[in-house]
Amino acid sequence: MKKLFTLCLALLAASVSAASDVESVVFAEVEEQEEERFIYDRTFPLLAQEAYDRGYELPKPYGFTFNYMKMDQPLHVTGVDIHGLRLNCGPISQLLCNQVGDEINLSDLINSAHQESETFTLRGDMWFLPFWNFYGVVGVTSGSSKAPIELAGNHLADFDLTFKGTTYGGGTTIVGGVGNWFALVDVNYTYTDLDILDGEITTLVAAPRVGYRYNYKGHDVQLWVGGMYQDVQQTFSGNIHDLDGIGDVLSTLCDGSWTEVCVEEGKFTVSQRLVSKWNTVIGSQVALTDGIDLLFEMGFGQRKSMMLGLGYRF
């Protein structure tokens, strides 16, 4: 009887010990899970903690990107006027120049132009919400455009513009995704003050993209395809003497009776728009380190473009 009582005490002690061990394991797992829960302690983006709790990965909230963009595209010239001329410059051919008083209209002789440009910009951005980014840009744009002047199928001369100026503006990006797939829409609006122009050129750009994200040897890689819409309808004016070779052009049209006084005092006005507002783009972004990204994008179609960017996030 005494042995049986001792055995019962031993079994009871073993049961209590086992229960204590189970409770210790359970409490240890709970504490470990609480320690592993990521706590987001930064102000932006708003709702970041909720996104992390749902298993989403977010980029660092702030960033700077240095971008270089080269663009090559055709333009449709809707009007070219030269005005403010002195009347003592000699006779002007009515047939060639279609002149009215001191104004020459070249619209019938110039229909198209070809433009090449380069833009260097610095972009600063912030994720306001996990899916919504705002940014501002400032930079320098330079380039040239050439419009052939033709009469009855004969090439008379070229109407050349060379420009350089300051570009600034802002935009926003909205992003969404499922698994490794993502989609985004980027919209921005910029102004460019060119040194040969009276006024500004405004550009509206909208770029939808879809892509796939994966990890390659420890580096985050994104690939995408999409389109770029640009609305650049512009009317600008300036001094005739700022145009390359304009004296030779006007001398050709005006029977050789042009003088330096006329070139110095005259003004020009040009109206033009893009031949094609859409083109196709493909691109990629690679995370070189935890905070540095390299971006590359190419555009195809009537408008050809190339963009290279180096970004830093913190």
Neighbouring residues of 208: CB distance < 8 A, sequence distance ≥ 6:
183, 184, 185, 186, 226, 227
DSSP reduced 3-state for 261: helix
Adjacent-strand bridge partners of 150: 155
Q: What is the pLDDT averaged over residues 70-96?
A: 68
Q: What is the pLDDT of residue 247?
A: 57
Q: What is the pLDDT averaged over residues 144-162?
A: 79
Residue pLDDT, tens place only, 16-40: 343 344 334 333 344 444 557 889 9
User: Structure tokens of 98?
Assistant: 């279609």
Element spanning 26, H or E: helix 2-36
User: In whole angstroms, what is the distance from residue 270 CA to residue 78 CA?
Assistant: 8
What is the pTM assigned to this prediction?
0.79
Give the other-Cβ count within 10 Å of 186's Cβ.
Answer: 18
Residue pLDDT, tens place only, 101-115: 456 677 777 888 999
Q: What is the pLDDT of residue 25?
A: 37
Q: What is the pLDDT of residue 47?
A: 96
User: In whole angstroms, what is the distance from residue 2 CA to residue 26 CA?
Assistant: 37
DSSP 103: B
Spatial contact of 134 and 128, defined as CB atoms under 8 Å apart: yes
Residue pLDDT, tens place only, 175-231: 999 999 999 999 999 999 887 677 678 899 999 999 999 999 999 999 999 999 999
State the chain's mean pLDDT as an integer.
Answer: 80
Residue pLDDT, tens place only, 247-277: 556 655 555 554 444 555 678 888 888 999 9
Tell me the C-alpha to C-alpha distance, in Å, between residue 110 and each of 79, 127, 256.
Answer: 8, 46, 20
Q: What is the pLDDT of residue 283?
A: 98
User: In whole angstroms, what is the distance from residue 304 CA to residue 314 CA?
Assistant: 33
